[in-house]
Amino acid sequence: MAESFVQRRLRKGRVTLFKKAGCPYCGNAVEILKQHSFAHKCLKVVDITQSEDVQEYLQQETGRSTVPYVFSEKRCIGGLADLQSMRSDRPGILQQIGALR
């Protein structure tokens, strides 16, 4: 069930961020991504606060134990620190997958 929940939200040309409510790292990651001009439906933010099974699945699949989980299409690119460290590369990555207007 958790696998299908996650897989249904990952799409070609989309960045998907799985977050927990109240997490400052998640909030900062969302703010970083919102600085870009995403095309319609190319940024999806999914709250998994009440979904322990989904977080466990994401942890198993990515090897990461903390939120946020940021995916470019179907590939996990990491969390907040990863978004921050790829600052200069982000626009090119987003352009390459067709996520920007």
How many domains does one find in the chain?
1
Range of the domain at 40: 2-96
Tally Cβ neighbours within 10 Å of residue 54.
20
Terminal C-alpha separation, the chain: 33
75, β-bridge pairs: 72
Query: Which CATH number does the domain housing residue 30 bear?
Result: 3.40.30.10
- pLDDT tens digits for range 59-95: 999 999 999 999 999 999 999 999 999 998 999 999 9
| Residue 28 resides in a domain | yes
| Residue 59 resides in a domain | yes
| Residue 101 resides in a domain | no
DSSP 100: B
Q: pTM value? A: 0.93
The token duo for 50 is: 């009440």
On whether the CB atoms of residues 92 and 86 are closer than 8 A, the answer is no
